[in-house]
Chains A and B, each alone.
Chain A
Amino acid sequence: KAGVTQTPRYLIKTRGQQVTLSCSPISGHRSVSWYQQTPGQGLQFLFEYFSETQRNKGNFPGRFSGRQFSNSRSEMNVSTLELGDSALYLCASSLAGQVQNEQYFGPGTRLTVT
C-alpha cells in the first residue's frame, strides 16, 4: 500500500505570493491533517479534514486555508506569503482522525519564502 505523498517536495516563493500544497493520503484513509514544522517550534497543527469537511483548526491566520476532495486528497493554500511562513509543511492521514487512529505522515513540503 502506498504511503502518504506530498507534492511538491520543495518550493521557493517570494513574499506576497500564494502557494498551494498537495497531499494524497493512504488509500482508505478519510482524515487528513496538516502541520507546520519550524526549528524550535516543533509541529504546529493547522487543520484537519474528514470527508471533505474541516473538522478541526489550529491557531493560524486566515491566510492559511485548506480543502479536501471526494477522493480524500487534500490541498492547503497560503496566501500573501510572509518570510515567517518558511517551514516544512507536513500532511498526515489516518482512518478516522488524528487522535482516533494512528497517523501516517508524508515526507513534507519544504517551503522557502524569500
Chain B
Amino acid sequence: GESVGLHLPTLSVQEGDNSIINCAYSNSASDYFIWYKQESGKGPQFIIDIRSNMDKRQGQRVTVLLNKTVKHLSLQIAATQPGDSAVYFCAEKDSNYQLIWGAGTKLIIKP
C-alpha cells in the first residue's frame, strides 16, 4: 500500500549548522507533498509544500527537494536555531485525496 516514512527518527545538529531531514514515499503517482513542524505541546504547523512538477522549492531558511526518480523528499533548514527543535513530518497526498503522514523525525539542536 501507499506509505510515507522517514530515514532517521532523531537528528542532532549543532546550532548554526544546516539540517537535512529525509523522507521516502512509495507511491510514484503522488503529486503533492507537505512538510509540517510540531513543537512540544502544540499541533503541527505547515512549513512548506511542493508539487510533483517541481524539484525544489524555497522558503524562509527552508528548502524542500523532491527526487521523483527515487521517491525521496528532503527538508533543508539553513543555520539551524534552537527554535527549530521539533518533530518534523512529511505528508503525501494519496490517490484518495487524503494526506498520508510519515512517522516523524525529531530534530535536536546542540548548543
* A contact set with B: CB distance below 8 Å: 4, 35, 40-45, 48, 56, 58, 90, 92, 97-99, 102-108
Contact = CB atoms under 8 A, between A and B. Distances in A.
Contact of A40 (B93, B98, B103): B103
A69 B16 CA distance: 47
Nearest to A91: B43
B25 to A, nearest CB: 13
Interface in B51-81: none
15 contacts: A4-B43, A35-B101, A41-B103, A42-B102, A43-B44, A43-B91, A45-B99, A92-B44, A99-B97, A99-B98, A99-B99, A102-B49, A105-B42, A105-B43, A107-B43
- The 5 A-B residue pairs whose C-beta atoms are closest, nearest first, are A105-B43, A43-B101, A42-B103, A42-B101, A102-B46
A58 B98 contact: yes
A90 B41 contact: no
B98 A98 contact: yes
A108 B39 CA distance: 12
A92 B43 contact: yes
In this complex, which of A42, A45, A90, A107 has the most chain B Cβ atoms within 10 angstroms of its Cβ?
A42
